[in-house]
Chains A and B, each alone.
Chain A
Amino acid sequence: QKEVEQNSGPLSVPEGAIASLNCTYSDRGSQSFFWYRQYSGKSPELIMSIYSNGDKEDGRFTAQLNKASQYVSLLIRDSQPSDSATYLCAVKRDRAAGNKLTFGGGTRVLVKP
């Protein structure tokens, strides 16, 4: 079992719809959770971080964390063609593990006009 799992996609959504991405992780000691966006041929960039159970909203993005079920999700509202990218889920374990992140394989999102 991979430590961090994501559906590879592609997730195809019409413009203006909500894109819903899921990520599950295996280590119950995980403390911090991140979503990175990566355009084709480019480097990852952080779009959201979440540390406690519940929802965190930032513009059109909402991250949701459920530590009991060991999943974190990302919602993209009013999806735009510019949101077409691969979204990487990353998980940080406890302080003893340092600042190392473990990444999932990424979900490719295609927003169709």
Chain B
Amino acid sequence: NAGVTQTPKFQVLKTGQSMTLQCAQDMNHNSMYWYRQDPGMGLRLIYYSASEGTTDKGEVPNGYNVSRLNKREFSLRLESAAPSQTSVYFCASSEGGSQETQYFGPGTRLLVL
């Protein structure tokens, strides 16, 4: 039981390049989330998926797209990376409904030059 996994762990991109961050959970959770964390800013929600087949914008969605591939997997895509997207990205999942504990993956450190 791995919980929430993320790939890659670390990535360096040049401005304008694209990439997809992968997230998978094996806890049969309904809801999945993507956050970014910048120094002193806490965690800010980028996109979330309340259930398979649905996605919604969070607080900072500009420059990102998501895909809920199936119940287990939720990917985050940067179409044209910018230095402002340098951050640590965390994926999380929760059962949804009245169960509110979110479980976080180990994070992906992204550097955009």
Contact = CB atoms under 8 A, between A and B. Distances in A.
Interface residues of B, number: 25
B107 A43 contact: yes
A102 B90 CA distance: 14
Q: Is the interface of A mostly helix, strand, loop or mixed?
A: strand
Interface string A50-63: 00000000000000
B31 A99 contact: yes
Contact-residue size bin, chain A (C-beta under 8 Å from the other chain): 20 to 34
B102 A106 contact: no
Interface of A: 4, 6, 8, 32, 34, 42-46, 49, 88, 90, 92, 98-106
Given A49-B101, A103-B35, 4 more contacts: A32-B100, A88-B43, A99-B31, A100-B58
Interface of B: 31, 33, 35, 40-45, 48, 50, 56, 58-59, 90, 94, 96, 100-107
